[in-house]
Amino acid sequence: MLTLEQVEQAIYVAAESALNDVAKIYTNMDDTSLSNGTASWIKFKVNPTNSKQLQLGDTDSSREWHALVFIIYVRKGSGTQDRDRLYKRVLDLYRNKLVGGATFMDSQPLLTGNNENWFLAGYLIPFYFDAT
């Protein structure tokens, strides 16, 4: 049985390993240095939904559903190639995969827009795991 903290750690370890050439930050990290740079980067956040699957009868576990939110930052005017490449790499890492004991589903687009010198594209990947 797993905890959200264990799954979150496994998510970030997988990102560090597979995306080692990409600048990235995680939940509760300061993004000032990356915002002032010029290279594209990704912001990851595990969004705890605290939703649990209802189970009848005696059971020692429950299924928890949460979401991995990632926002890709690319410089305005740099085109969509970097954004699309980073999006594909993150999807290849998590979409419909088992990572750290959590099962990831397909991605859902979030809002896109501009922020100072950056174009932002956000995505959400729901996941679940059997908790203690």
pLDDT digits (tens, 9 = 90+) for 101-114: 999 999 999 988 88
Classify domain 4-131 by CATH architecture.
Answer: 2-Layer Sandwich (3.30)
pLDDT of residue 1: 79
What residues have CB less than 8 Å from 38, skipping those under 6 apart? 75
DSSP 117: T
Say whether pLDDT at 60 is over 70: no
pLDDT digits (tens, 9 = 90+) for 26-54: 988 888 888 888 899 999 999 987 665 55
pTM (2 d.p.): 0.85
pLDDT of residue 78: 84
Name the CA dihedral angle for 44, 126, 123, 49, rounded to a multiple of 10 degrees.
-70
